[in-house]
A and B are shown apart, each in its own frame.
Chain A
């Protein structure tokens, strides 16, 4: 009894409770990350391709789910079967085998095909020998060809289109005297355009000449051009090494490629890029804004009830639901500011909007607004933490107030300001709702940063990992196939946030080291 009282008195209970609370929080965080990681990372591992015989005929696929009385098969071949996944009662499963010639063929269209390679044809002639071998031999050339076609289609044709469009706009605004010259240029461009199209046509025919015929478990066949084959994985014939290779290749495609098939396949590179870029633009906007506001509030404004009210308002701003910011961003930035910019600078293109529609600049501005309270609060605290003695030292040396602020106070507050930025970035990178109203799209035709002048296109719409999760997971017609993509995307989003934060953290630590282990 006395012991317990003593235990309480010494505060041991509190130590235990707080320790337990910390442990619980850590458990939840690691649980979340672990769950997402486990669900996502396993997806790319080539599983065994199992063949079973059911009353309705043979089935070939990867086992993706098991329940006490039924098994889920990923049978793929959406174009033949209509659905990628099938649940089969255990009682109907017979003759389970793992055929060595079974392959997963990832295609540009209709998702993967699971079956056997029947034959490879070139210019209507069947290529002799083992079809898998033939395919392996012919694929590099086909891949180069298809890459070439894609880049031609996207870059050259796109650029030509844009140039012609710009010239047309210019033509509208020029007096009749100047027109013939412009018209001639349009004509020349149009000829180049047609020539390019013709070249593309030739290349496409060339690509279509090499085909591969695939045979599904039930005997149906499908012939596709070899150029549309992304990857062939003969899972059952692969050893651990080969499987790792396939895994890494799939993972790399996921990180570095464009999405396909309404985002349920391929990569998410544009979304990663868009997220990082949006967060960076937001940071560039939010730091000066927040720091300046905090400087004014802490150093110049008269300390009184008005300022106190303002502080409370700023703090509450951080609690406003983000969708409200989205609505504001849409109404103010997109329609009002963007619309006005269009009227003044891009009137030739109207009614097609330039800035008067969602874009990465408006999205970043909206998020900057959303996260500015965090920066303000952190900066104010950091400013207050700069020792008064240092300010006095500076002033006593004959520095003006502004010089003192600039040379002593702000550098001293910098680590604290960066803490604010870290918090803001973490919040901004994960926000989705306001972006949906201000510039995120499911599939952006081009990235906000590319090789065409002026390189940084702040008016463009962009893709975002957070929105990608929502879109793939809940808006896609093929939700079963998209599930692992959702987890993988979530994992990548976490990773992006962590990497961005580590970057800022490093910066802060470097600064702190320079400040000599100062007051923070």
Chain B
């Protein structure tokens, strides 16, 4: 029996959910949550956007369906940046989740609500979605484990798209073992999503991580110290750690923002207040005026910015310079990763260059500054590579995360590595008193 009586109070404090179940208890094997861009019958699916207010999906996302049939009880939909557009979960129409370690700080994004739920609720499994780091970033900021599998490993049926060629459903949890327990549950080919794949099937083979390529980068002093300590710890676990440089990585961020915005802007096109969600505009208007008025009113600022950015990069005359070029950059980055995987089992980096920023710092950031926060979490996402963020230290009382990236379809190695790491690392859980 799962006791859900405290859920409303928890959510009141942390705002990690955009919608919670109305039940007080449930007879189920385990409790899980789904990010609000995953459809689930019985819940609205609004993806953090006001324009989707009222959208009640008629089908479960594949991952939700699989978790339910494995005995899971869906407790709620977790809060997120609108359509995934953000790194701090502040771009939501349904409140801003508070960091469990410091309520004045961000949970990270865009799966901020999911990371918060994973950090605060015991034994909770949170389904998250990553496009450019939306699982790793909040996992790092909230001190939990977050795994984004190989692109195609988990069906995207029922996922409200952001950047379709990069979107991946993954899992966040306070317990590394949950990743290995539930990722196989939600994995597998699905005819309803032609990009899904099951070659090879995900099985835990307990392959040990033997070598990592450490890519150093510009980070805050606190993050740097935590990573250096983790490096030593890994060596003591008989993992070879060797520093390498990856020259193409600096192109990952611009290539990612071009591709993700180009795809994102086409996905956002369908939201025009006509067939679902908000439909309360003045229908006597001409259709294009109606669309403009609904989109102006109900899409958030960051969404508008990305729609404009994405539309620009695919306009004739600019398309080759931006969109087509970014496709080429993606291939170059994948090639560089592949070269590294000839010598190493995984790439190690900090997950984020700094600890979670305070909300007042975030509101002072320009769009470009906040995009730069994703500099380390973007490359594996752009390349469709599996990656896991793990807590590896604390700075100013806030968690620091490190990220392991493995070659395509080597998800099982990361699952083992996360469990091994959890055995050695002493996590400091947030103080949650209710």
- Do the two chains belong together in a single complex? no
